[in-house]
Amino acid sequence: MISVIIPTLNNSETLAPCLAALIPAAVDGLIRQVIIADGGSTDATSAIAESAGAEIVSAPPPRADRLIAGAAAAKQPWLMFLTPDGVLAHDWEREVDAHLEALSANGAARPAAAVFRFAIDDRGAAPRAAELATRIGYRVLGRACSEQGLLISRTHYDQLGGFRAQSAVEDIDLIRRIGRRDLVRLRTPITIAVSRYQHGYGRVAARHATRMLRSLIPGT
């Protein structure tokens, strides 16, 4: 039912835990395909993907092109885009399955794409502040970032035109086109590895804020 697309570029340190969190859903049949859209990794990323049974699609940077290539290779009616630095919480598949069943029961009157709750694998005030900033971005601006993942039907994705090549804010740009009314934030957290924030939370928060503000400008 779901094709998972993970864009990678030298993510060997975090990819294995990301993939491990998908195993129960693959066993249950919720996930039917896992695609690694790789931008030319020189570390063990490809070997880890192959050992996990994932399909590998090669696509050069930027990240938007990798997402587009992964989506093009997807065969299932639902697409789930994930960051290789994130690990979905235990039993995440139950909430996703319930979300899909609710849409089916309602006749899919609204497409209702979904993102996960953002969390960081670190202690202290700084990571909590970063999490809060992301929640505010969702509640106030109706935006979400790539770290939160994205679950969207193939039909909805195609109707919106998918990710835009060469876009500097490809994830938030697609969220903007989805629209606040058609986006659900699930309760399940996706926990991002602290290594993603090695340059400091301040810089990351500033980058997220800039990307969200840029997404408010049509054509960016």
Domain locations in the chain? Answer: 2-214
SS3 readout for the chain = CEEEEEEECCCHHHHHHHHHCCHHHHHHCCEEEEEEEECCCCCCHHHHHHHCCCEEEECCCCHHHHHHHHHHHCCCCEEEECCCCEEECCCHHHHHHHHHHHHHHCCCCCCCEEEEEEEECCCCHHHHHHHHHHHHHHHHHCCCCHHHCEEEEHHHHHHHCCCCCCCCCHHHHHHHHHCHHHEEEEEEEEEECHHHHCCCHHHHHHHHHHHHHHCCCCCC
Q: What CATH number has the domain spanning 2-214?
A: 3.90.550.10
Give pLDDT, residue 52: 95
| pLDDT at 109 (0 to 100) | 53
Two tokens, residue 98 = 């319930």
Residue 208 C-alpha from the chain's centroid = 15
Contact 160, 174 (CB under 8 A): yes
pLDDT of residue 165: 84
End-to-end CA distance of the chain: 32
pLDDT in tens, the chain (220 residues): 999 999 999 999 999 999 999 999 999 999 999 999 999 999 999 999 999 999 999 998 889 999 999 999 999 999 999 999 999 999 999 999 999 998 887 665 567 899 999 999 999 888 888 888 777 777 766 678 889 999 999 999 999 999 998 666 788 889 889 998 899 999 999 999 988 777 676 666 666 655 555 555 555 5
**Per-residue pLDDT at 209:** 59
Residue 25: what pLDDT? 97
| Per-residue pLDDT, 134 | 79
